[in-house]
């Protein structure tokens, strides 16, 4: 009888030890990104946490040419698609005329800002960056402009960039995909991002710090979560459509309900915040911002500049007095500076 008693007790003890092991290890994810500090703070990981995003893969896919579009002045244009999380995501692709360089053309991944998803156009004839990406396309770059899920005709639900990892996942899969493209040089890739696309760009840089060579951000939503929550008062009346606004608010409120807001629980929000990981950025960054931006506070870009400088990073900062969120009043100069920055580090 004593044998059975001790056997039963041993089984219970083993079970308890197993449960303790699981509870202490299930909350830790080890980064697999080369060149990044792999010591991850043990927390219950949210999918948006930088360590969680570093731990997952971004396999991308082959780029499929869906439609050949009208040529630009000295470049071809295509409506293409690629795969992200099992979703078909549309993207605009431009390729320079002429003989392909030995290692392929340099690439700019073009991260567009917020546009109402059901009004978004992959290939706009006017507006929606119709005058932006051609500057790079005409200058000897492949340009790849992904839509993100739920935007335009891309599959999936438009989840946004600030409280969901979805758009960054789509963008990093786009990055992998364009590196596989036969005419692209995978070792000469830069990123340009505007507004929401600037937030995605910054997250790209801290999640995959060795995958690109240079980045330019215009009017970026690059404040901390403390800033996004308490210091973002837009001076414009526009708001997203009710359905999308409700989704965004639900995402934020669900996080606040579970973890508290950034003032109540800064430790949690810091795990999500790309500005808290700028020390891991390995590329030069240029920041351009309209001095009269009424949509995204100029202070967001100023704060990121200061954090990058404090971390010893290479950063250029340009502010255009009287210019709006799109830097319309300083567009030519801002584009000239952006192009020169890309040329310096990609050509």
Q: Are 249 and 300 in contact (CB under 8 A)?
A: no
Query: Quick one: pLDDT at residue 235?
Result: 59
| pLDDT grade for 332, boundaries at 50, 70 and 90 | very high
For residue 36, being part of any structural domain is answered with: no
Query: Quick one: pLDDT at residue 188?
Result: 98
Structure tokens at 154: 């891309």
DSSP 8-state secondary structure symbol assigned to residue 317 = E
Query: Quick one: pLDDT at residue 246?
Result: 64
Between the alpha carbon of residue 225 and those of residues 25, 47, 229, 249, the distances in Å are 27, 16, 6, 14
| pLDDT grade for 44, boundaries at 50, 70 and 90 | low
Written as one string, the DSSP assignment of 80-143 is: EEEEETTEEEEEEEEEESSPPPTT-EEEEEEE-----GGG--SS-SSSTTTTTHHHHHTTT-EE
Structure tokens at 80: 């293409």
For residue 31, being part of any structural domain is answered with: no
How far is it, in rounded angstroms, from Cα 275 to Cα 231?
A: 15
For residue 39, being part of any structural domain is answered with: no
Label residue 337 exposed, middle or buried (CB < 10 Å: 0-12, 13-18, 19+): middle
For residue 17, being part of any structural domain is answered with: no
Domain that holds residue 234: 49-346
CATH number at residue 187: 3.40.50.1820
Domain count, the chain: 1
Of the candidates 29, 50, 43, 55, the residue with the CA atom closest to the CA atom of residue 267: 43
pLDDT at 2 over 50: no
| pLDDT grade for 26, boundaries at 50, 70 and 90 | very low
DSSP 8-state secondary structure symbol assigned to residue 296 = S
pLDDT at 36 over 50: no
List pLDDT tens digits, range 48-96.
999 999 999 999 999 999 999 999 999 999 999 999 999 999 999 999 9
pLDDT at 19 over 70: no
How far is it, in rounded angstroms, from Cα 121 to Cα 68?
A: 16
pLDDT at 116 over 50: yes
Q: Are 282 and 311 in contact (CB under 8 A)?
A: no
Higher pLDDT, 41 or 315: 315
List pLDDT tens digits, range 240-299.
666 666 666 788 889 999 999 999 999 999 999 999 999 999 999 999 999 999 999 999
Higher pLDDT, 93 or 20: 93
How far is it, in rounded angstroms, from Cα 258 to Cα 317?
A: 37
For residue 59, being part of any structural domain is answered with: yes
| pLDDT grade for 102, boundaries at 50, 70 and 90 | very high
How far is it, in rounded angstroms, from Cα 133 to Cα 338?
A: 12
Higher pLDDT, 250 or 314: 314
For residue 253, being part of any structural domain is answered with: yes
Q: How many CB atoms lie within 10 A of CB 295?
A: 18
Query: Quick one: pLDDT at residue 24?
Result: 36
Residues in the chain: 347
Q: What is the pLDDT averaged over residues 127-146?
A: 97
For residue 40, being part of any structural domain is answered with: no
For residue 109, being part of any structural domain is answered with: yes
| pLDDT grade for 28, boundaries at 50, 70 and 90 | very low
Between the alpha carbon of residue 49 and those of residues 35, 40, 133, 162, 277, the distances in Å are 18, 11, 31, 11, 11
How far is it, in rounded angstroms, from Cα 306 to Cα 202?
A: 15
Query: Quick one: pLDDT at residue 251?
Result: 87
Higher pLDDT, 112 or 241: 112
Query: Quick one: pLDDT at residue 279?
Result: 98
Place of tokens 């960039």: 161
Average pLDDT, the chain: 88
């Amino acid at each position: 009888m004593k044998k059975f008693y001790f056997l039963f007790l041993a089984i219970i003890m083993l079970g308890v030890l197993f449960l303790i092991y699981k509870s202490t290890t299930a909350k830790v994810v080890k980064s697999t990104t080369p060149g990044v500090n792999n010591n991850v703070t043990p927390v219950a990981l949210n999918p948006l946490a930088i360590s969680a995003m570093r731990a997952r893969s971004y396999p991308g896919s082959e780029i499929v040419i869906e439609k050949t579009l009208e040529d630009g002045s000295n470049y071809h244009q295509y409506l293409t698609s690629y795969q992200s999380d099992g979703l078909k995501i549309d993207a605009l692709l431009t390729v320079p005329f002429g003989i392909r360089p030995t290692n392929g053309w340099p690439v700019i991944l073009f991260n567009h800002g917020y546009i109402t998803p059901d009004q978004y156009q992959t290939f706009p004839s006017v507006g929606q960056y119709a005058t932006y990406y051609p500057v790079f396309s005409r200058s000897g770059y492949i340009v790849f402009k992904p839509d993100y899920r739920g935007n335009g005709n891309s599959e999936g639900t438009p989840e946004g960039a600030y409280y969901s990892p979805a758009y960054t996942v789509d963008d990093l899969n786009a990055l992998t995909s364009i590196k596989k493209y036969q005419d692209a040089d995978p070792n000469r890739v830069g990123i340009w991002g505007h507004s929401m696309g600037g937030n995605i760009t910054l997250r790209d840089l801290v999640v995959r710090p060795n995958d690109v060579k240079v980045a330019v951000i215009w009017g970026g939503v690059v404040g901390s979560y403390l800033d996004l929550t308490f210091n973002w008062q837009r001076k414009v009346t526009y708001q997203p459509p009710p359905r999308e606004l409700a989704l965004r608010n639900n995402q934020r409120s669900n996080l606040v309900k579970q973890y508290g807001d950034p003032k109540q629980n800064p430790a949690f929000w810091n795990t999500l915040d790309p500005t808290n990981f700028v020390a891991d950025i390995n590329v030069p960054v240029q920041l351009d911002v309209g001095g009269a931006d009424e949509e995204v506070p100029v202070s967001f870009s100023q704060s990121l500049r200061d954090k990058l400088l404090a971390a010893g990073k290479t950063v250029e900062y340009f502010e255009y007095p009287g210019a709006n969120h799109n830097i319309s009043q300083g567009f030519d100069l801002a584009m000239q500076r952006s192009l020169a920055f890309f040329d310096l580090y990609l050509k």
